[in-house]
Chains A and B, each alone.
Chain A
Amino acid sequence: MSLNQILPFISTIVMAVFTVYVLQRFLARRKLHFLFWGLGLAMFGAGSFAEAYLSLAWNKWVLFTWYFFGAVLNAGWIGHGTVYLLFRKRWVHVLTAALLLGSLVALVLMLQVMPRLDASQFTTAAPISEQYRDIMPAVSDGATVRLTTPFFNIYGLLTLVGGALWSAYLFWRKRVLPNRVIGNVLIAAGALSIGFASTLTRLGYGSLLYLGELVAATLMFAGFLVAARPQPAEAAAPARALTSPS
């Protein structure tokens, strides 16, 4: 097996553990930010699993999973979890409605493309990130779903990375909780690594995508664990603990 066949499997395992960890927090605390993070991470994991599968065999619904969950939706959904954490206002529910509606529109557009996939262009010799443009029709030929990815990814990048950097800055400025400063920097760096790799893929350089995904999964999980780690002062005074990913 080549490195590009192994990396998605490792990313899938990391993301599966990360997703279970976050969704357990949702079940225990019933906070919506955990739900959106968990669902977004599950989409990320599904995309990684689809890459792993497509490095071995063809299935058009696995390609659907890879593109719809891995390329279109996951960043926006993870980032929306951060919005729920940082802004506990009613207007966030309006954004939630917009995200759900946008996801539904993307789903319809993706389903419209499915009968027009050209499976004859598929090969296991190259990563799917380097050949999906040959398998899917061009935007001008009806694959308008491809126009939706920047919307979700800009929103995800702004909210996830922006939220993490802003939180890190707030803790640093107040000189408290160094673990959350470092944790948020790791989360931001992880999200940026996948954003960078995805942008390169979009521009036609898809060979770094799988490495970027593994780096992103590892850094974000590490950041989450570091930020959620209870500090001695917090353990001594749980009633005053911060709102946190823990």
Chain B
Amino acid sequence: MPNKIGRRQSRIPRDSFFFERVFPILLIILGVITLLLIIVAAGILLGLIPFS
């Protein structure tokens, strides 16, 4: 999970359907699932969601 950008890197193509259309939607969906899982886990921790 890199975090520093250099200068001469390979570029994301401008006309890519995946990077222009699919990726933003995918990112939002994965983010929402992450939030939901954290809410469920926090709910279990706080006793709001019962488990045996």
Contacts and interface: CB of A to CB of B under 8 A. Distances in A.
Contacts of A28: none
B7 to A, nearest CB: 6
Nearest to B30: A188
A240 B23 contact: no
Contacts of B2: 85, 167, 171, 177, 180, 227, 242-245
Contact of B23 (A133, A162, A185, A195): A185
Interface in B1-52: 1-13, 16, 19, 23, 26-27, 30-31, 33-34, 37-38, 40-42, 44-45, 49, 51-52
Interface in A161-219: 161-172, 174-181, 184-185, 187-189, 192, 195-196, 199, 202-204
Indicate the size class of the contact surface on chain A: 35 or more
Nearest to A161: B34
B15 to A, nearest CB: 12
A151 B41 CA distance: 8
A174 B4 CA distance: 11
A154 interface: yes
Interface of A: 82, 85-86, 133, 138, 147, 150-151, 153-154, 157-158, 161-172, 174-181, 184-185, 187-189, 192, 195-196, 199, 202-204, 227, 231-234, 236-237, 240-245
